[in-house]
């Protein structure tokens, strides 16, 4: 059973603990809590000196307080750290339990200091307890009394009880401080974020980043450098004042200097004192007018990639705030994203500007419509071409301006797949009521999540006029030239038969000249008509089984008179067993005559010309070999184009239509035509014709 004295002591102790706990929990700032714990503890056991070391979760001292008599020293973590590994505090931490040192002079756990010898204060007694909360050690408290054997086990219990309360208070204060610190950082970052991201102008973004860093870190100078990924260099692109003019051109290799190494590692760092840190070497910092004392540098990050660095120099307060690196790293992350967004925005803007310029400056009228063909946008040319004011064009259906293709329903433009173009001929109704023939190209576009359509209008009135002209010309040739010509030919034929065999040779010769010339004109007009039909895609209908040999003889006959005048020999090399071909004989005869005429034209007098044929798989191949100047390889393909004449100034007359006709006629028959030639070695014009398939 407890005696009265014991229960009074117990009650006093409880009251004391209650008061201590109330005192401690009423403060939240760590420095105040530590001061209260040490003074209350010293006061209650009558100690004269005392200290508390606060430890982080890994056991590193982060704060401390020393009390010597009435003198208080705060922020004493560094001074107290030496008692940790070897001293009494170290022993308590290792054993996680409190202890009493009755005589500091005799206990080896006590780290002897100069003032411990007998000349000074001499041997003392001490009590040391751990501050533990939820099994976690948060600190150690040591109390000292000037005389040995002062502390009893009861003192140890009381101090441990106070320490248990104090542990909670210290932990709370630490958490509070950490929360406070986080809140400060978050507020600084949130303010910076809203300031930096509220613009999309790339230069403005850089300036805002710099001013936010200056403000958040309170430094003299700030700078920003970006990485050029192609050259793997880091170039300074913006900085606050205090920097020499030419610094902007400075660039570092990744890994070079302090900034270069931060950019390479992608992790921020601080140089607290440039005079003792050898990472501070030649680089941008040397271009600064001011003497650089301290630097904090953090990477600029965008999409998990380092795109540059931020640097802040010389804190105004003399030393960097402990959060400086964390704040700069935070700004680095959001600034990197802001820079990237600004760059992307600029790219989108310039792409949009380019597109708009292309759209507005197009020589063709263009409309952009929605799914219901309502005009959303019209370019300058559309306004000029239609004669309507732009406001009148907008919001009206494009179908009001474009007539449907003749006898065809309005084109089903909605089913055009994205990226494909559909075109049709139509007429555009202008404001003046005129109808202009146009070719319409419709394309579907995905714009801002919606399907729109681009209607590009091409004025084809000129082409239509040419078509008309051509039709007129063809009908002119047909009606006004062809029938009189055939009348002349048949009349000359009649003359020819009427002329007696022994008649005047001069007269016969003249008649022959007239006959040949008219036949030539006839061939020409027929070829012109054929070209025009073939070009408009009309099929060849007069197909008859024809013997190539037969055709060849007729063609040679037609050109022989001219060849004879140049004393040229036309040799026939056609195998007798050559099968028949299914062709429009008149057309192909004119092809061979054309090739032979060219061969005669370009071969020298006495030159040799061969007209040959051979069987090739399912084709009959025909060729005309001459002894002319030959044709350069580069010209060999396009001499078959209309109006191509290789030497227009040479003495040989022509329009460059002969070979164009040959190609149209041969391809119209399902064959091919080409030339094999070498300069100085003559030319061989070849073509193929499909053979009649045997049943
Ligand atoms: P043209 O009526 O002007 O002769 P062609 O279409 O028959 O037109 O020929 C086109 C051009 O090809 C000629 O102007 C000429 O330069 C070249 N050419 C055609 N045949 C020969 C050939 N056998 N040898 C050399 N050049 C030729």
- Does any ligand 1 atom lie closer than 6 A to the CB of residue 599? yes
- The pLDDT assigned to 253 comes to 83
- Does any ligand 1 atom lie closer than 6 A to the CB of residue 656? yes
The tens digit of pLDDT for each residue in 296-337 reads: 999 999 989 999 999 998 898 888 887 889 989 999 988 888
- The pLDDT assigned to 1 comes to 44
* Least confident span in 275-279, 428-432, 444-448, 547-551: 275-279
Region of 670 on the Ramachandran plot (φ > 0 left; ψ -120 to 50 alpha; else beta) = left
Whole-number Å distance, alpha carbon 587 to ligand 1 midpoint, is: 19
Ligand 1, atom 23: closest residue by C-alpha:
599
Cα Rg, the chain, nearest whole Å: 52
Residue 456 above 90 pLDDT?
yes
Q: Which of 646, 655, 666, 683 maximizes ligand 1 atoms within 8 Å of its Cβ, making it the mutation to test the pocket?
A: 646
What span, in angstroms and rounded, lies between the C-alpha atoms of 310 and 347?
24
What span, in angstroms and rounded, lies between the C-alpha atoms of 416 and 440?
14
- The pLDDT assigned to 28 comes to 75
3-state secondary structure 280-293: CCCCHHHHECCCCC
State percent of the chain over pLDDT 90: 35
- Does any ligand 1 atom lie closer than 6 A to the CB of residue 683? yes
| Both tokens assigned to 120 | 């000074």
Contact 155, 127 (CB under 8 A): yes
- The pLDDT assigned to 41 comes to 87
Contact 403, 426 (CB under 8 A): yes
- Does any ligand 1 atom lie closer than 6 A to the CB of residue 654? yes
- Does any ligand 1 atom lie closer than 6 A to the CB of residue 593? no
DSSP letters for 630-665: ---GGGTTGGGSTT--S-TTSS----S-HHHHHHHH
269 pLDDT tier (thresholds 50, 70, 90): very high
The tens digit of pLDDT for each residue in 107-163 reads: 888 887 665 555 556 778 999 999 998 888 999 999 999 889 999 998 899 889 888
What span, in angstroms and rounded, lies between the C-alpha atoms of 45 and 152?
10
- The pLDDT assigned to 2 comes to 45
Ligand 1, atom 8: closest residue by C-alpha:
656
| Both tokens assigned to 323 | 């959060």
Question: Which residue intervals of 241-323 are DSSP H helices?
Answer: 257-265
- Does any ligand 1 atom lie closer than 6 A to the CB of residue 122? no
What span, in angstroms and rounded, lies between the C-alpha atoms of 611 and 592?
9
- The pLDDT assigned to 288 comes to 62
- The pLDDT assigned to 565 comes to 94
- Does any ligand 1 atom lie closer than 6 A to the CB of residue 658? yes
What letters, b where the CB count within 10 A reaches 16 and e where it falls short, cover 229-249? Answer: eeeebbbbbbbbeebeeebbe
Q: Which of 601, 645, 682, 687 maximizes ligand 1 atoms within 8 Å of its Cβ, making it the mutation to test the pocket?
A: 645
DSSP label at 404? P
Ligand 1, atom 4: closest residue by C-alpha:
654
Regarding predicted confidence, which is higher, 194 or 530? Answer: 530
Whole-number Å distance, alpha carbon 624 to ligand 1 midpoint, is: 13
Residue 291 above 50 pLDDT?
yes
- Coil/strand/helix, residue 84: coil
Residue 416 above 90 pLDDT?
no
Q: Which of 593, 639, 648, 686 maximizes ligand 1 atoms within 8 Å of its Cβ, making it the mutation to test the pocket?
A: 639
**What atom of ligand 1 comes closest to residue 645's alpha carbon?**
14
What span, in angstroms and rounded, lies between the C-alpha atoms of 290 and 428?
72
What span, in angstroms and rounded, lies between the C-alpha atoms of 382 and 400?
14
Whole-number Å distance, alpha carbon 682 to ligand 1 midpoint, is: 12
Tallying the residues shown for the chain, one arrives at 695
Residue 655 above 90 pLDDT?
no
Whole-number Å distance, alpha carbon 645 to ligand 1 midpoint, is: 6
Ligand 1, atom 21: closest residue by C-alpha:
598
**What atom of ligand 1 comes closest to residue 653's alpha carbon?**
3
Residue 553 above 50 pLDDT?
yes
């Amino acid at each position: 059973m407890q005696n009265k004295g014991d229960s009074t002591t117990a009650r006093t102790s409880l009251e004391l603990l209650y008061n201590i706990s109330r005192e401690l929990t009423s403060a939240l700032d760590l420095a105040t809590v530590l001061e209260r714990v040490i003074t209350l503890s010293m006061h209650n056991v009558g100690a004269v000196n005392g200290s508390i070391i606060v430890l982080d979760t890994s056991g590193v001292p982060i704060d401390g307080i020393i009390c010597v008599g009435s003198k208080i020293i705060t922020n004493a973590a560094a001074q107290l750290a030496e008692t940790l590994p070897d001293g009494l505090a170290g022993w308590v931490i290792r054993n996680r339990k409190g202890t009493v040192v009755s005589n500091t002079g005799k206990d080896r756990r006590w780290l002897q200091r100069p003032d411990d010898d007998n000349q000074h204060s001499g041997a003392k007694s001490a009590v040391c307890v751990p501050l533990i909360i939820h099994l976690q050690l948060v600190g150690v408290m040591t109390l000292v009394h000037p005389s040995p054997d002062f502390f009893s086990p009861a003192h140890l219990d009381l101090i441990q009880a106070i320490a248990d309360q104090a542990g909670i208070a210290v932990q709370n204060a630490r958490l509070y401080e950490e929360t406070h610190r986080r809140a400060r950082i978050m507020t600084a970052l949130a303010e910076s974020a809203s300031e930096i991201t509220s613009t999309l102008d790339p230069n403005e973004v850089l300036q805002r980043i710099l001013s936010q860093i200056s403000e958040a870190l309170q430094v003299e100078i700030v700078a920003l450098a970006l990485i050029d990924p192609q050259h793997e260099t880091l170039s300074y692109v913006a900085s606050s004042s205090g920097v020499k003019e030419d610094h902007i051109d400075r660039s570092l290799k990744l890994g070079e200097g302090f900034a270069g190494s931060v950019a390479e590692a992608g992790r921020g760092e601080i140089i607290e004192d440039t005079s003792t840190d050898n990472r501070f070497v030649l680089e941008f910092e040397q271009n600064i007018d001011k003497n650089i004392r301290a630097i904090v540098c953090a990477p600029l990050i965008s999409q998990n990639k380092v795109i540059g660095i931020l640097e802040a120099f010389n804190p105004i307060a003399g030393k960097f705030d402990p959060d400086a690196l964390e704040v700069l790293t935070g700004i680095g992350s959001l600034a990197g994203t802001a820079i990237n967004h600004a760059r992307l925005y600029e790219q989108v803007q310039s792409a949009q500007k380019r597109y708009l310029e292309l759209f507005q400056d197009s020589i063709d009228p263009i409309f952009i419509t929605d799914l219901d063909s309502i005009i959303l946008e019209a370019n300058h040319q559309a306004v000029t071409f239609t004669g309507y004011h732009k406001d009148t064009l907008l919001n009206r259906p494009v179908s009001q301006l474009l007539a449907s293709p003749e006898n065809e329903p309005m084109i089903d433009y909605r089913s055009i797949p994205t990226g494909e173009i559909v075109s049709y001929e139509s007429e555009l109704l202008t404001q003046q009521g005129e109808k202009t023939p146009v070719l319409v190209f419709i394309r579907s576009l995905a714009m801002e999540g919606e399907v729109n359509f681009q209607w590009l209008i091409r004025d084809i009135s000129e082409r239509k006029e040419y078509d008309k002209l051509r039709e007129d010309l063809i009908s002119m040739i047909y009606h006004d030239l062809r029938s009189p010509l055939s009348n002349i030919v048949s009349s000359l034929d009649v003359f020819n038969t009427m002329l007696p065999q022994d008649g005047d040779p001069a007269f016969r010769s003249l008649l022959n000249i007239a006959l040949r010339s008219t036949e030539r004109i006839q061939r020409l007009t027929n070829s012109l008509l054929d070209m025009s039909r073939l070009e408009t895609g009309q099929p060849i209908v007069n197909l008859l089984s024809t013997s190539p040999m037969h055709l060849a003889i007729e063609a040679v006959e037609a050109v022989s008179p001219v060849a004879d005048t140049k004393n040229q020999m036309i040799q026939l090399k056609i195998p007798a067993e050559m099968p028949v071909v299914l062709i429009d004989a008149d057309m192909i005869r004119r092809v061979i005559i054309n090739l032979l005429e060219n061969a005669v034209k370009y071969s020298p007098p006495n030159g040799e010309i061969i007209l040959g044929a051979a069987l090739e798989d399912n084709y009959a191949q025909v060729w005309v070999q001459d002894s002319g100047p030959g044709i350069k390889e580069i010209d060999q393909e396009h001499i078959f184009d209309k109006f191509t004449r290789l030497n227009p100034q040479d003495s040989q007359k022509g329009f460059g239509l002969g070979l164009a006709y040959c190609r149209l006629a041969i391809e119209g028959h399902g064959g091919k035509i080409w030339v094999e030639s070498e300069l100085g070695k003559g030319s061989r014009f070849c073509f193929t014709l499909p053979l009649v398939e045997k049943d």
